[in-house]
């Protein structure tokens, strides 16, 4: 897998725990990092393609990613 985008990730070196919040309400800290991340879209697509079940990826929580996948299925 080409993972060079990970080298540019804004979360690189940060405490991974903030990207695995207990609830969506606790995801604000991770989302703030993602908002400023130069590879946000790539990260999100990676998570969607891999059906990542946990954590914040590309600025979206698991529930938000499921919503995106549902919307894409509807419009496909």
Q: Where along the sequence are the contacts to ligand SF4 (CB under 6 A)?
A: 9-11, 19, 33-34, 37, 39-40, 43, 56-59
Q: How far is CA 13 from CA 7, 33, 63, 73, 74, in A?
A: 10, 12, 25, 35, 37
3-state secondary structure of 72: helix
Give the nearer residue to ligand SF4 in terms of CB position, either 13 or 74: 13
The answer to whether 43 touches 9, Cβ cutoff 8 Å, is yes
Alpha-carbon distance of 31 to 49, in angstroms, equals: 20
What is the smallest separation between the CB atom of 3 and ligand SF4, expressed in angstroms? Answer: 10
What is the smallest separation between the CB atom of 4 and ligand SF4, expressed in angstroms? Answer: 12
What is the smallest separation between the CB atom of 64 and ligand SF4, expressed in angstroms? Answer: 13
Give the nearer residue to ligand SF4 in terms of CB position, either 21 or 59: 59
């Amino acid at each position: 897998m080409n993972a060079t985008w990970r080298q540019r990730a804004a979360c690189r070196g940060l405490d991974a725990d903030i990207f695995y919040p207990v609830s969506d309400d606790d995801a604000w800290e991770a989302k703030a990092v993602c908002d400023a991340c130069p590879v946000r879209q790539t990260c999100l697509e990676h998570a969607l393609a891999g059906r990542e079940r946990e954590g914040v990826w590309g600025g979206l929580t698991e529930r938000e990613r499921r919503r995106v996948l549902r919307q894409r299925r509807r419009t496909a």
